Amino acid sequence: MNSARSVAVEVVKKVLYDNAYSSIVLNKYLNKFDLNKKDRALITELVYGTLKYKYTIDCILKNFIKSNLEKMNKDILNMLRISICQLRYLDKIPEFAVVNEAVEFSKNISFKLSKLVNGVLRNYLRNKSNSFGGNKEDKIEGICFEYSFPRWMAELFINQYGEDLGKFIMGSLNVVPKVTVRINTLKTDYKHAWNELIVNGYDVKRGNVYKEAVIINKGSNIELNPLFEKGHITVQDESAMLVSYFMDVEENMTILDLCSAPGGKSCHIGELMKNTGNVHCYDLYESKLSLVRHNAERLGIKNITCKKLDAAKYLEKLKDTADRVLIDVPCSGLGIIRKKPEIKWNKKEDSLKDLIEIQRKIILNAARYVKVGGKLVYSTCTLNKKENEENINWFISRNPQYKLDKLYCGDFHNIIYHEEGYMTILPDNHMDGFFIARLIKQR
């Protein structure tokens, strides 16, 4: 049974129970079956909507199912989840059709369970105007229900940023992201690429922050477009573009990118250096380095070399060799949830301590690779201050030979410039959440 909803159920199950990445498994299943454009769009909406609003959906289901949800048949539970998602957050399909599809799907598993599905969904529709948020005296629980975030994550945002900004962050992380591309100036110019995108049927607008960015409002899969295939454009968020921009590179420099895969920032650096100098790309996994090589080849970047390396382990031969070092360190990813909603459910609070330990090992190693007068850029795609500001302050206190270099790229509603010099990019309709710090080695 390859209906849109049955495919969505399978994808959600893989993500929630097999720790699959939503984008990868979704593309796999979309290509596996002969689906029309309408069904592909519906499956994508259902998968990302269900993962995004899982907390709220499960709270609703608990009002109608008294047993432990996680002990239920996984296919039945996920069909209920995507059905509630449709009924609550989508309005393209009539309610009766949503219920009937769910019941028919469930009959293939168990006639008895199909009655449960029918009863739960019809009961929800009779009571959909009710508040399902649980304990009205628990403010955090109400926020978790409204924005559909696990409690520890909601508390992290509110405790670190205050209630208003914390809500803004969570609301922005629920926004459906637009695709943003960067113009590759080695192969084309902005005006030509812009016009070609319009000719190819794309609704576009200029990027908000970075001069070579184009936001795709509407259009077909950009990676199947000739401009992408020829390397004239590449998909990259504006926040990530700013990381390479703040590397402050010059032609003929030696650059180390210690956590380079999949290569977006490495290739951007190579482009900014106009294919001069050397960009040495390292990553822990050889398989991921193949992505860097593939991107570099497509974009015509010729000053990149790739090699396997554990950035958390010091390598003596790299000492004092680099004009610039980039460490886009492994992080909790709390700033990119709008693109990877499964982060809400596959990240655990306890795991953050291990990440911070790894991040600190990496920055200590990276600092030894920078030449005197050179610069070290630290970036993450998280908004957890323990992985960001606290790590940089910890490093500076132990390495007085480094000083922070102030960052600035203009006044924008979602960019926070800290007194110390580093910056936080809050997620909004067009940008991911990021943190960037640039340090200069003085002696």
Pairing mode of beta strands 304-308, 278-283: parallel
Q: What own/partner pairs with CB < 8 Å and gap ≥ 24 does 311-317 have?
A: 311/258, 311/259, 311/282, 311/284, 311/362, 311/365, 311/366, 312/358, 312/361, 312/362, 312/365, 313/361, 313/365, 314/364, 314/365, 314/368, 315/365
Question: Is 263 annotated as ligand-binding?
Answer: yes
Question: Is 411 annotated as ligand-binding?
Answer: no
Question: Is 283 annotated as ligand-binding?
Answer: yes
d(C-alpha 129, C-alpha 118), whole Å: 19
The single residue listed with the structure tokens 């790590």 is 391
State which amino acid sits at residue 140.
Answer: I
Question: Is 323 annotated as ligand-binding?
Answer: no
d(C-alpha 303, C-alpha 269), whole Å: 10
Catalytic residues: 381
Question: Is 264 annotated as ligand-binding?
Answer: yes
State which amino acid sits at residue 292.
Answer: V
CA end-to-end span of the chain: 66
Question: Is 261 annotated as ligand-binding?
Answer: yes
Question: Is 59 annotated as ligand-binding?
Answer: no
Cα–Cα nearest to 333, from 381, 403, 290? 381
Binding-site residue ranges: 259-265, 283, 310, 328
Q: Which residues are annotated as a binding site for S-adenosyl-L-methionine?
A: 259-265, 283, 310, 328
